[in-house]
């Protein structure tokens, strides 16, 4: 598994919820793996600019 540089994190002024730029998360491509509790999820940016998260 390759690691890209840390994605850009933006903090919303109304809350402390971190916000990530999807293009930073996917690097130069359109897909990224996201790990949660040992499970792998796939984030994909479609040609229409929509986000899809699948397991």
3-state secondary structure 2-22: CCCCCCCEEECCCCCCEEECH
pTM score, whole prediction: 0.69
Q: What is the pLDDT of residues 3-28, one digit of tens each?
A: 655 666 666 566 789 999 999 999 99
Residue 2 has a pLDDT of 58
Domain 9-54, CATH 2.10.70.10 — does that match? yes
Segment 26-36 mean pLDDT? 97
Q: How far apart are CA 18 and CA 2, in angstroms?
A: 23
Residue 22 has a pLDDT of 96
On average, the pLDDT of the chain sits at 87
Query: What are the extents of the domains in the chain?
Result: 9-54
Confidence class of residue 40 from pLDDT cuts 50, 70 and 90?
very high
């Amino acid at each position: 598994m390759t690691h890209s540089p840390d994605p850009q994190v933006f903090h919303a002024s109304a809350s402390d919820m971190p916000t990530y730029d999807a293009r930073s998360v996917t690097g130069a491509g359109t897909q990224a793996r996201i790990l949660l509790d040992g499970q792998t999820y796939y984030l994909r940016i479609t040609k229409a600019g929509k986000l899809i998260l699948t397991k």
